[in-house]
A and B are shown apart, each in its own frame.
Chain A
């Protein structure tokens, strides 16, 4: 009896997990305007953990970038406080990782401040990056 119950519970939790796995990527998807701006190289990842404008953009794209940067800053601030770090430390760490996960064709900022296009090779990052 107990075994049957356990099996049922397991099946239920497996089903719940499957649903979460399907639902999560849908929630986490980028806004199409943001995705397009990244793919076209108008918007890139900066070394400080925020998005930057790397090409000529319209006011709409600028707004998208500003909104995301405000959200990122709020996120960094709360996570930094929880980790006993400063906002800049946390933001720079996130910047290292965000540059590392850029896709080929997307823009990122090199340590010298120049905009680079990501290739299949590893990006040029600050030597302190993990």
Chain B
């Protein structure tokens, strides 16, 4: 008894979003046509590249013994 209703609703739920999708597509096309073109703006802030991420572990390991001495010899500022 319910089976018939459910089947009908399943059919609806399957069909309605398709129609909606069609409407959305049409709306997008419409707005794109109305705008005429897509504008791309350059960022107003300078692009900052984080230099730290390029520092390799092997470099840090090479520098560490010397840096340890530097810190100990200048411990008033460390």
Listed stretches B14-22, B23-31, B49-57; interface member: B49-57
Smallest Cβ distance from B44 to chain A, in angstroms?
24
Q: Is the interface of A mostly helix, strand, loop or mixed?
A: helix
**Contact A96 B60, CB 8 Å, known A28-B75, A28-B76:** yes
| Set B55, B62, B76: member contacting A29, Cβ < 8 A | B76
B13 at the interface (CB under 8 A from A): no
**CA–CA, A27 and B74, complex, Å:** 9
Q: Which residue of B lies closest to A79 (CB)?
A: B70
B12 at the interface (CB under 8 A from A): no
Smallest Cβ distance from B75 to chain A, in angstroms?
4
Taking residues whose C-beta sits less than 8 angstroms from the other chain, chain B's interface range is 20 to 34
The reply to whether B71 and A128 contact each other, CB–CB distance below 8 Å, is no
Q: Count chain A residues whose beta carbon lies closer than 8 angstroms to a beta carbon of B.
A: 28
| Set B55, B56, B71, B74: member contacting A97, Cβ < 8 A | B71
The reply to whether A75 and B64 contact each other, CB–CB distance below 8 Å, is no
**For A31, what are the chain B residues with a Cβ–Cβ distance below 8 Å?**
76
The reply to whether A92 and B70 contact each other, CB–CB distance below 8 Å, is no
**Contact A79 B60, CB 8 Å, known A29-B76, A48-B52, A88-B51:** no
Query: Can you give 15 contacting A-B residue pairs, CB < 8 Å?
Result: A28-B73, A28-B74, A31-B76, A72-B78, A79-B70, A83-B62, A85-B62, A89-B55, A89-B60, A92-B60, A93-B59, A93-B63, A127-B57, A128-B56, A128-B57
B residues in contact (CB < 8 Å) with A = 51-52, 55-57, 59-64, 66-68, 70-71, 73-78
Closest 4 CB pairs of A and B: A128-B57, A28-B75, A93-B63, A130-B64
